[in-house]
Amino acid sequence: MKKFNIELAVGLFVLAGILSLGYLSVKLGKMEIVGGKGYEIYAIFSNSGGVKEGSNIVIAGVEVGRVKSIVLENYQARAVLSLPRDVKIQEDAIAAIKTKGLVGEKYIEITPGGSDKFISPGGKIRETQPSVDLEELISKLVFEKI
Amino acid sequence: MNRTFLIQAMLCLSFTFGMVAPGFAGDPQDQLRETTDKVLSVLSDPDLKSPSKAKERRERIQKIVDERFDWEEMARRSLARHWPQRTPEEKREFVPLFKTLLERVYADKVEGYSWNKILYEGETIDGDYAAIKVKIFTAKDQTLHVEYRTWKKGSHWLIYDFSVEGVGLVNNYRTQFNEIILKSSYQELVKRLKTKSVQN
C-alpha cells in the first residue's frame, strides 16, 4: 500500500512537471493554442525593414499584439497583425515600422486615430509608413552639406 | 428610318458621355500633376522672381496649394483622438492655425528648392482613397521620395497626408500634438501654435 502511494506521488510529480514544461514552452514561444482571443487585420508596407513573424505591435509603447505573418504581395510587404479583441483600431490609425534604438529589432507602432469608425476583423489599416532607412537619410544629409 | 437615326444618335451620345465621364473625374495622379505644374510655373515665372514680388508669389502658390489640400482633414487626422472632444469653435480656430504652421515649415522649402525633375511613379487607388508616389530630383542630384495620400471629394482628389522619405506628416504631428495635450492641455497647444504663427 505504501509503495503504491510513492509510485502515485512520483507519477503525479512527473505529470505536473510535463504540464509545466508544456505551459512554459507555450508561454515562452508566445504560441496560441485555441486560436487566441483576438482578431486580425492587415497592412501593406512598401518596405517592411525586416519585420518578422512574431514581431511586436505597440500602441503608446505598450505591446498589444504580434505580427502573425508577413509575405510579399505585389512587391510590397503584407503583414497580418493579430490583436486582442478589446484593442480597437480606428480607421484613420497609422501603422508605422519602427526600430528599437538605432540598430534594435523592428516593430510595428500603431498611432490611434480620431475616427469613430473602427477597422473590422479582416480589414485593412490603410495608413502605413515604411521602415525609415537611417543610413540612407544620413548619407543624404552628409551629401547636402558638401 | 427615323428610329434608326434615333438609335444612332443615342448610341453616339452615350459613347461620348461614356468617354467624357472618367476623363472629367480625372486620375489622382493627373490632378496632382496639374497642381504641381501650376506651382512650378509660378516658381519659374521671371516676373515674380524679384524679392519685391516675393509676397505675391507666395500668395499665388498658397492659392494653388489650397485647392489641392484638405486642411481640415489634415488637422482632424493630426489631432486624432482629441479632435472629437473639441467644440465647433475650437475646430474652426484650429484649422487655420495648423495651416499656418505647415505653410511656415514648407513654404521656404518649396520656394527654395531647385526642382530639377519630378517623376510620377504611379498611383494606387483603393475606393475613395489613393496614394501617389513621386520621386523628386533636386539640382544637387539628390532624390526625394514623396508619397501623397489623397481622398476623393466630389470630382477632386484632395491631399490629406504626405510623407517624405517615409516620414509621414500626420503621424509626426499626431505624436507631437498628443504629447503636448497630454502633458499640458489643448489650450497650451493652441497657444504654442499662435506664438509660432506670430513669429512668422
Contact A114 B140 (CB under 8 A): no
Q: What value does the mean pLDDT take over residues A3-29?
A: 89
pLDDT value of position A34: 52
Query: What ipTM did this prediction achieve?
Result: 0.76
Q: Is the pLDDT of residue B21 over 70?
A: no
Which chain A residues touch B if contact means CB-CB below 8 Å? 46-47, 90, 92, 94, 96, 111-114, 116, 126-127, 129-133, 136-137, 140, 143-144
Contact B163 A129 (CB under 8 A): yes
Distances in Å between the Cα of A79 and the Cα atoms of A49, A53, A55 are 12, 9, 10
Contact B165 A129 (CB under 8 A): no
Between B11 and A42, where is the model more confident?
A42
- For B165, the closest of A111, A116, A137 (CB atoms) is A137
Q: Is the pLDDT of residue B18 over 90?
A: no
Q: What is the pLDDT of residues A65-106, one digit of tens each?
A: 999 999 999 899 999 999 999 999 999 999 999 998 877 899
Least confident of A116-125, B39-48, B58-67, B167-176: B39-48
Model confidence band, residue A58 (pLDDT cutoffs 50, 70, 90)? very high
pLDDT value of position B19: 42
> For an interface test with A, which of B85, B169, B170, B186 has the most A Cβ atoms less than 10 Å from its Cβ?
B170
pLDDT value of position B54: 84
C-alpha to C-alpha distance for A26 and A45, rounded to whole angstroms? 30
DSSP track, B78-104: HHGGGSTTS-HHHHHHHHHHHHHHHHH
Strand, coil or helix: A75: coil
pLDDT value of position A27: 80
Q: What is the pLDDT of residues B142-151, one digit of tens each?
A: 788 899 999 9
A131: closest chain B residue by CA: B166
pLDDT value of position A16: 96
Which amino acid type is present at position A32?
E
C-alpha cell, A29: 514561444
Is the minimum CB–CB distance between B35 and chain A shorter than 8 Å?
no
Q: Is the pLDDT of residue B193 over 50?
A: yes
Is the minimum CB–CB distance between B99 and chain A shorter than 8 Å?
no
- The torsion angles phi and psi of B194, rounded to 5 degrees, stand at -65, -45
Q: Is the pLDDT of residue B5 over 60?
A: no
Question: How many C-beta atoms lie closer than 10 Å to residue B75's C-beta?
Answer: 24
Average pLDDT, chain A: 87
C-alpha to C-alpha distance for A141 and B35, rounded to whole angstroms? 28
Alpha-helical segments (H) within chain B? 2-25, 28-44, 54-68, 71-79, 88-112, 169-183, 186-199
Q: What is the pLDDT of residues A41-55, one digit of tens each?
A: 999 999 998 899 999
C-alpha to C-alpha distance for B131 and B159, rounded to whole angstroms? 9
Model confidence band, residue A108 (pLDDT cutoffs 50, 70, 90)? very high
- For A114, the closest of B79, B126, B168 (CB atoms) is B79
pLDDT value of position B24: 43
A132: closest chain B residue by CA: B166
